[in-house]
Structure 1
Amino acid sequence: MGFKKDFLWGGAVAANQVEGAWNVDGKGMSVDDVARFKPDVDVKDYRKNVAITSTDIQNAIADPSTADYPKRRGIDAYHHYQEDIRLFAEMGFKVFRFSIAWTRLYPTGEEEQPNQAGIKYYQNVIQELQKYHIEPLVTLSHYEMPLNLAVKYNGWADKRVIKYFTRFARTCFESFPDVKYWLTFNEIDSVTRHPFTSAGIVPDQSTNLLQNEYQALHNQFVASAMVTKLTHQLIPGSQVGCMLTKLTTYPATAKPEDVLAAFNKNTMNYYPADVQVKGEYPSLILNYFRRHNISLDVTDEERQILKENTVDFISFSYYMSMLTAADESGLEMTAGNTVVGGKNPYLPTTEWGWTVDPLGLRLSLLQLYDRYQKPLFVVENGMGTHDQLNSDGTVHDQYRIDYFKAHFQAMKEAVDDGVDLMGYTSWGPIDMVSASTSQMSKRYGFIYVDLDDYGHGSGKRYRKDSFQWYKHVIETNGEEL
């Protein structure tokens, strides 16, 4: 059957990784403005790269430079968005996923009125997209909550943050009414893997970190449901999606205990989508809470809000699969997208230890569609690797083309199997600062940005070989790979 005629091809970025201009035009500090580049830490050691303490935060606040904090400078998309969108249009993008930095509109998160300069910036971005007939797909929260709310309230562990977020969301809906597609929280399940980045929780300020993580996740569920209702009220015809990290896990062996271990991990991965799609907590998760002495503060009103305001579609990131076992001590472990899991001996890995598994994407699409029977949207998928910019301005990245070709073929097969797939946005269409390691040298884009890990370089944009390849894929709606 192939992809539907109105399939949304495009790319995805996050404000904190591309915009830069961290203290320009009234912007406040976000949690990612204190994410430090750690060149002495192994890039495969995810936990050390994202670890942060109260002292780290205070040191970062006291340091006004961008030297050790690459997300403060990004790729300066704040001043280059017109050039970048023009390049996306040249590739034929139908959709562009980006996030709105909460701190551009509400610098501390607690202001009564929004910062008009921030609103104007995103209005300009959206107008530029409209000029090229590119649909905006906007993420409200993508790892960039106000630092003030993290320090003052321990982030989303405090219910008061719900009020501040819904105020921010209402401002977005009222200021950008032409946006049809919205996502609430990026990789909402990641709260339990990197609580500070995802939910503003400072681990060393938490007496019961596990309790705080799941309470924060619940508070985000409630906020997501509230703004889903608000979106539908303020923007008729709008569609709101949840966003999940699809962590497809295989049993290491056919041993029944390993199969059970894989089932348990996949169940935990699904449950944030279960709540947002079905409107209630699954009984298996409630039992998990009981076994781990997790007691959530949940009101009857909140249960009703969740039940009545489910999402319209399911979006997700897919980068890799992993193995697990009842006893993981015998497994070789490898890093991945915000997680560490068993390495699959049948699959290759990238330089950063991420498993490359195109068939896993087809399986993920089938699993999600079978479970939820709602439209799906792949909003993140890609491969971070080193690229070589040649003296003539070319970048030969056949390895990237091979990666995407295999994953697009897997998507086609899932669609032929009957999956309702809305669209696909690559991560990311242009090189940007890495979310986990804060590197520029971990490159994803079809567009090369001449900057290194320390911010040195011209910042000039160059088309890679994959640029023209992806352009042709879009022109043929995925028929010619």
Structure 2
Amino acid sequence: MYKTSYPKGFPKGFLWGGATAANQVEGAWNVDGKGLSTAEVVKKASERHQMSMSDVTEASLKEAIADPSDKLYPKRRGVDFYHHYKEDIALFAEMGFKIYRFSIAWSRIFPNGDDKEPNEAGLEFYDKVLDELEHYGIKPLITLSHYEMPIALTEKYNGWYGRETIAAFNHFTEVLFKRYKGRVPYWLTFNEINTGTWGFHETGAIDKDLPEKEQLQIRYQALHHQFVASAIATKQLHQIDPEAKIGSMLARMQTYPKTPKPADVRAAQLEDDKNLFFTDVQARGVYPEYMNRYFAENGIEIKMGQDDEKIIAENPVDFISFSYYMTNVTAYGEKGDGLGNMSVGGRNPYLKESDWGWQIDPVGLRITLNEMWDRYRKPLFVVENGLGALDKLESDGHIHDGYRIDYLRQHIEQMKEAVKDGVDLMGYTMWGPIDLVSFSTSEMSKRYGFIYVDQDDEGKGSLKRYRKDSFYWYKKVIANNGEDLA
């Protein structure tokens, strides 16, 4: 629609906040009837640049289930949000959060995943979290599946590869939608669903020792079952709580061509299509034609139920959310170095890197916001973006993290530019407002938060919370709705 003016800044009511995941903050992994989850059988990585998120075999799974401790499995302890939630939410409120994104641990509600009745103690915990958020006027944004599912479903059905998992998940979602009707305005189905192409952490299916062709078959079949479950959950929510909205969530990896050579440009286009395929299905309601060739050339055959395509078509998501940490570079015929945030691309010589080798590209966020808005014309939500760094707690209790302020300032500036470009942007929940156990490496040393947690990689420490310099900066940003980023 043609207008003679354009937005000059973030809209009134912009949703500023932060995001966490149950398996990275809650702890209390064996408390109040909770079952073991897939996140809690992944060991800490042995090296900083190594990602252990999908390094699970049948042997390592048996070993993990038999281990009654959290020594090798840091996500079992998190940062004890389970017992510190009131303190932590009060700190979020002090910063002025409008929204807090968190996930509900499926295995805390259904310990085995497919139990007939939910675990009341688990539901009551999230009742209390919502009570606390309501006390401060903070809206909840809940992720239904954030890299964890009951490990019993891996044992019974090989996770999402088994079609039976759809019914188990949608029993879980129906219980939540009914329990929290009117209290949760925004939901997400699967966190970074596209990362299921790398295996266990997202699919719950063990396939590490299989040939690549068989791995791809298992992973895309598992992802199809998630598409169906997501569509069913969308239908459930619209029927149970019509005022609430539900979105998809993608790990967005904008890809640049290494050179202007047409072959490189086409290679980058192919990588972007493979990334956006997942949002195409969830937001448009159809499998895009361009994937037919990819499936055929890789020997992938999606087994569909009779009504699967109809269910997906009739229940697209209401909005699109995504994480943004970095961009990729690709060239025809070349394979990237694989460093960075789940990246398969090459290095960009024009960008700086974090302590973990993640390339920092604020302008790329504006580029991807514009491209996704043009492609989908649905409201967008940046629900993860942040800097993992080696923060230092000074003797006087201060943490001077100016590098984090610089990082966030540059990305928020580019979001503001995208809004001026005409992008419909709902909000920004940075990752993660409080230090937590890293998803990719299970470290504590890789700190993201505005709030420092006194705990080391071995789980030692007082768990005392400290405000970093960035805490006060973000508080100011929220107070002036992103007008003053100095």
Q: Quickly name the TM-score band, shorter chain normalised.
A: over 0.9
The answer to whether structure 1 residue 307 and structure 2 residue 313 are counterparts is yes
Which of 325, 334, 339 is matched with 1:335 structurally?
A: 339
Aligned twin of 1:287: 293
Asked if 1 retains the 8 angstrom alpha-carbon contact of 2:192 and 2:250, the reply is: yes
Q: 1:4 aligns to what?
A: 11
Question: 1:425 is matched with which residue: 423, 426, 429?
Answer: 429
Runs of 4+ in 1 over 4 A off after TM superposition: 204-207
Q: CA offsets, 1:80-99, max 9 Å, x none? A: 00000000000000000000
Does residue 85 of the first structure (1) align with residue 92 of the second (2)? no
* Cα distance in 1, alignment partners of residues 316 and 165 from structure 2: 21
Matched, 1:272 2:278: yes
Corresponding residue for 2:190? 185
1:29 to 33, 36, 39: 36
Q: 1:265 deviation in Å?
A: 0.3
Residue 30 of structure 1: CA displacement? 0.2
Q: Report how far residue 336 of structure 1 moved.
A: 2.2
Q: Percent identity?
A: 56
Distance 1:312 1:335 in 2: 33
CA RMSD of aligned residues (A): 1.1
Residues 243, 316 of structure 1: 8 Å contact kept: yes
Residues 1:298 and 2:283 aligned together: no
Q: Shift in Å at residue 238 of structure 1?
A: 0.7
Distance 1:402 1:162 in 2: 43
- Matched-pair contact (CA < 8 Å) for 2:42–2:55: no
Give the deviation of 1:204 after TM superposition: 4.4
Q: 101, 118, 123: which is aligned to 2:122? A: 118
Question: Shift of residue 125 of structure 1?
Answer: 0.2
Q: Secondary structure at the match of 1:6?
A: coil
Aligned equivalents of 1:112, 1:199: Cα separation in 2: 22
For residue 296 of structure 1, report the CA deviation from its aligned partner: 0.8
What is the CA-CA distance between 1:44 and the residue it aligns to? 1.6
Aligned mates of 2:353, 2:12 — CA distance in 1 = 34
Looking at structure 1, the residues matched to 21 and 342 of structure 2 have their Cα atoms a distance apart, in angstroms, of 16
| 1:323-472 equivalences in 2 (<5 Å) | 323-328=329-334, 333-472=337-476
Alpha-carbon distance between aligned partners in 2 of 1:152 and 1:339, rounded to the nearest angstrom: 31
| Maintained 8 Å contact 1:28/1:104 | yes
Q: Tell me whether 1:261 sits opposite 2:267 in the alignment.
A: yes
Determine which of 126, 132, 135 is the counterpart of 2:136.
132
1:260-285 CA-partner distances (Å, limit 9, x unpaired): 11110000000000001111000001
Q: Match of 2:244?
A: 238
User: SS of the residue aligned with 1:103?
Assistant: helix
In the aligned structure 1, how far is the partner of 2:339 from the partner of 2:205?
22
Partner of 2:222: 216
CA distance in 2, matches of 1:205, 1:219: 22
Q: Describe the SS at the equivalent of 1:225.
A: helix
2 CA distance for matches of 1:223 and 1:8? 27
For 2:368, give the aligned amino acid.
S
Shift of 1:338: 2.2
Secondary structure class of the residue paired with 1:335: coil
Letter in 2 for 1:19: E
Distance in structure 1 (CA, Å) of the matches to 2:174 and 2:334: 45
Task: Specify the alignment match of 1:19 in structure 2.
Answer: 26
> Hey, what's the Cα distance between the residues in 2 that align with 1:346 and 1:270?
25
Cα distance between partner residues in 2 of 1:211 and 1:334:
22
Matches within 5 A, 1:52-131: 52-131=56-135
Give the stretch that moved more between structures: 49-58 or 468-477: 49-58
Q: 1:147 aligns with which of 131, 140, 151?
A: 151
Write out per-residue CA displacement over residues 94-127 of structure 1, whole angstroms, 9 at most, x where no aligned residue. Answer: 0000000000000011210000000000010011
- Rounded to whole Å, the distance in 2 between the matches of 1:281 and 1:191 is 16
Q: Tell me how far 1:206 sits from its aligned partner.
A: 5.7
TM-score w.r.t. the length of structure 2 is: 0.96
Match of 2:3 in 1: none
Runs of 5+ consecutive residues of structure 2 not aligned to the other structure: 1-7
Q: Gaps spanning 5+ residues in structure 1: where? A: none
| Cα drift, residue 298 of structure 1 | 1.3
Contact 2:53 2:439 (8 Å CA) reproduced? no
Q: 1:446–1:466: 8 Å Cα contact kept in structure 2? A: yes
Distance apart, 1:242 and its partner CA: 0.3
Deviation at 1:290, TM superposition (A): 1.6
Verify the 8 A CA contact 2:53 2:200 in the aligned structure 1.
Answer: no
Between the aligned partners of 2:338 and 2:453, the Cα distance in structure 1 is 28
Q: Which amino acid aligns with 2:237?
A: T
Structure 1, 337-346 or 55-64: larger mean CA deviation: 337-346
Partner of 1:227: 233
User: What one-letter code is carried by the residue in structure 2 that aligns with 1:119?
Assistant: L
